[in-house]
Amino acid sequence: MKKIFGLAVLSVLLLALAVPAVAEDTIKIAAMEPLSGSFKDIGERYLDGVVYAAKVINENGGLLGKKVEVIPVDSELKPDVATRKAQNLILRDNVKFFCGGTGSSVGAAMEQLAERQNAIMISYGMAAASMTGEKCSKNFFRTCGNTDQQSYALAALVAKKGYKRVAIIAQDYSFGQEALAAFKRRLAKLNPSAEIVAELYHPAGTKDFAPYVSQLIAAKPDAIFTPNWGNDLTLLLKQGRPMGMKQVVLSYYINDEFTIQAMGDDSLMIGNMGAEVYTLSIPTDKNKEFVAKFYKDKGYYPTWLRGKSFMSTMFWAEAVKKAGTTDIPAVIKAWEGLTYDGPAGLWTMRACDHQAQVPFWYTEIVKENPFFKHAFEASAGMVPAEDVSVPCAETGCKMKK
């Protein structure tokens, strides 16, 4: 009796699993972003861009006659959580397209999953070069720059400005080291006379920058390069400026409006420079039109993260349109070599490693800007795509077709 009852309960629970879900005829793209926890603001802004792109596509007649549906997925910035949720979406809702911008760990795990499950993963922000390098996969596309490209762009900027003495400070982990290595490699090529006067590593999450700042000042550089982000950037500037670190800081993520707001003091930021694949202040007509329309629709600006994920999604839609189907091998084939002429210039998806070849936009932080009351980007200048390109042979990618 007891066993039979237990069995009945078990069977009912198992059958409850089998309730079918209602399927709609849409093209689904899942955005894997941290939508909770301390990187929530980044994930939400990326997601915003994807959703906006879907809206624009749907307003213009949809994709292959169908609506594009964005499925927000909270990756919790954990690769195991992201892949598990993605796996469920593949099995249950037949989702074939995934995108994301936060956390190269999530990206690398998603890349493997996409290859196994015959899906496509698109990164518009996960920057670790290895994902289109030695780990590259035909099912993975990157529609933003990687650490190599971004460092190359900043090295180009340093060479252009003619800085002779450069100091470098970076977080002591793979990202910081990769960014630094690429920067040094490129600068040595572009301007062999430029000298690296200091090269400092600090643990990620350092609270006291005083010892590093005094070393930086003692080296008497013309400019300081750092790939630091988050608190490590804010604290470096907050503690460094009052100590007399007056040099221009060239950083990966200087154009983040949240960082500038968190700084609370514009004078710490003015004069610093950064380079990204998208900045609000790109002076092309296409970008002005995009920014104006976005602002009209939403009431705020498509700052870098939103712009990046927007363009990435539009680029993906172009590829699907060209393929004429959502069949994965067809989309992969269609996307290779495809160009997209968006707000940030001409993007080309390179076939050899699926790394988009994109121009970078450098910008200086100034007091007067048309976007915010606080200091923000001045009109951006372009580093052409070919100047930041890493040749196919040097990426380490051996793509299995």
Partner 1 sequence: MIAKKNRPYLFIAFLFALGAVMPVLLRQYHLNMLTEIIVFALYAVSYNLLLGYAGLLSFGHAMFFGMGAFTVAVSLIHIPGLSLWGAIGLAIAMTTVVGFVTGGLLLRHKGAYFALLTLAFNSLFCAVATKWHTVTGGDDGLSVTRPDLSLGFTTINMAGLTSFYYFTLVIIGAAIVFCWYFTQTAMGQTVLMMRENEERMKFLGYNTNISRLILFTFTGAVAGLAGAFYTLHFQFCSQSAISVDMTTTVLLMTFVGGTGTFWGPMMGALVYVVLQNYLSDITDRWPLFMGLIFVFMVLFIPGGLTQIIQYVRNLFSGRNGTDKSLAVKEGSS
Q: Which residues bind partner 1 (CB under 8 A)?
A: 1-3, 5-7, 9-11, 13-14, 16-18, 20, 35-36, 74, 78-81, 83-85, 87-88, 91-92, 104-105, 108-109, 112-113, 116, 174
Sign of CA dihedral 250, 233, 34, 86: positive
Q: Bridge-partner residues for 261, per DSSP?
A: none
**How far apart are CB 392 and partner 1 at their closest, in Å?**
24
- The residue (of 105 and 379) whose beta carbon lies closer to partner 1 is 105
Query: Are 99 and 313 within 8 A, CB to CB?
Result: yes
Q: Which is nearer to partner 1, 13 or 393 (CB)?
A: 13
Region label for 255, one of left (φ > 0), alpha (ψ between -120 and 50) or beta (otherwise): alpha
Which amino acid is located at 340 in the chain? Y
Helix (H, G, I), strand (E, B), or coil: what is residue 3? Answer: helix
* Minimum separation from the CB atom of position 285 to partner 1 (A): 39
Nearest approach, Cβ of 6 to partner 1 (angstroms)?
A: 7
User: By C-beta, is 6 or 244 nearer to partner 1?
Assistant: 6
Hey, which bits of 245-314 come out as E strands?
Answer: 248-251, 273-276
The least distance separating partner 1 from the CB of residue 95, rounded to whole angstroms, comes to 11
**Residue 291 to residue 299: CA distance in whole angstroms:** 11
What sign results for the dihedral spanned by CA atoms 305, 307, 310, 313? Answer: negative
Q: Within 10 A of 380 (CB to CB), how many other CB atoms are there?
A: 24
Q: What are 362's strand-pairing partners?
A: 275, 381
Identity of the residue, 90 or 249, whose beta carbon is nearer to partner 1 in the bound complex: 90
Nearer to partner 1, 16 or 22 (CB): 16
| Closest distance to partner 1 from the beta carbon of 18 (Å) | 6
Least distance to partner 1, CB of residue 46, Å? 15
Minimum separation from the CB atom of position 78 to partner 1 (A): 6
Residue among 130 and 281 whose Cβ is closer to partner 1:
130
Structure tokens that stand for 26 in this block: 């849409």
Smallest distance, partner 1 to C-beta of residue 101, A: 16
* CB nearer to partner 1: pick between 102 and 247: 102
Query: Taking the complex as a whole, how short is the minimal distance between the CB of residue 103 and partner 1, in angstroms?
Result: 8
Q: Give the Cα separation of 277 and 248 in Å (integer).
A: 21
| Residue 152: CB atoms within 10 Å | 26
CB burial class (10 A; 0-12, 13-18, 19+) of residue 333? middle
Cβ proximity to partner 1, 104 vs 363, nearer residue: 104
- Residue 7 vs 292, nearer CB to partner 1: 7
3-state secondary structure 120-186: EEEECCCCCHHHHCCCCCCCEEECCCCHHHHHHHHHHHHHHHCCCEEEEEEECCHHHHHHHHHHHHH
How far apart CA 291 and CA 179 sit, in angstroms, is: 30
Q: Residue 72 or residue 384: which is nearer to partner 1 going by CB? A: 72
CB of 126 to partner 1, least distance (A): 11
- Helix, strand, coil content of the chain in percent (nearest 5): 45, 20, 35
